[in-house]
């Protein structure tokens, strides 16, 4: 049976970002070039090995560049019983919205 992946816009994410769990599944170089404040990096290919780092009892927002990799990651997390939400449009939509962006290898 196909998994339904909930989605959120970058505007809705911005409203819910304070205290939210946000995971960026892009590659390290993409993340370092610019990411949403508070986003923690867990590249998609590392997610299966690092899923234990994520809270089992909280909503997890997942973001990538455009929303494709984060959709795959969200589907994977949902199949494991976690509550994951895909960010539609990804960091490109976030950047285009004019919201704050952080560079470097650490969440802001």
Q: What is the DSSP letter of 105?
A: S
Told to judge if 29 belongs to the known catalytic residues of this protein, a careful annotator would answer no
Q: Which two tokens stand for residue 34?
A: 């610019």
Q: How many CB atoms lie within 10 A of CB 24?
A: 29
Coil, helix or strand at residue 10: helix
**Measured between alpha carbons, how far is 41 from 94 in angstroms, rounded to an integer?**
16
Which member of 62, 64, 84, 93 is catalytic? 64
Q: Are 12 and 87 in contact (CB under 8 A)?
A: no
**Measured between alpha carbons, how far is 88 from 91 in angstroms, rounded to an integer?**
9
| Positions marked catalytic | 64
């Amino acid at each position: 049976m196909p998994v339904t992946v909930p989605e959120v816009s970058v505007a809705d994410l911005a409203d819910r970002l304070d205290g939210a769990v946000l995971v960026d599944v892009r590659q390290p170089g993409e993340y370092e070039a610019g990411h949403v404040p508070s986003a923690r990096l867990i590249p998609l290919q590392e997610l299966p090995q690092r899923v234990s780092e994520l809270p089992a009892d909280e909503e997890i927002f997942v973001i990538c560049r455009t929303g494709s990799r984060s959709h795959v990651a969200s589907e994977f997390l949902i199949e494991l019983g976690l509550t994951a939400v895909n960010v539609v449009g990804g960091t490109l939509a976030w950047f285009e919205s004019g919201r704050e962006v952080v560079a470097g290898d650490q969440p802001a």
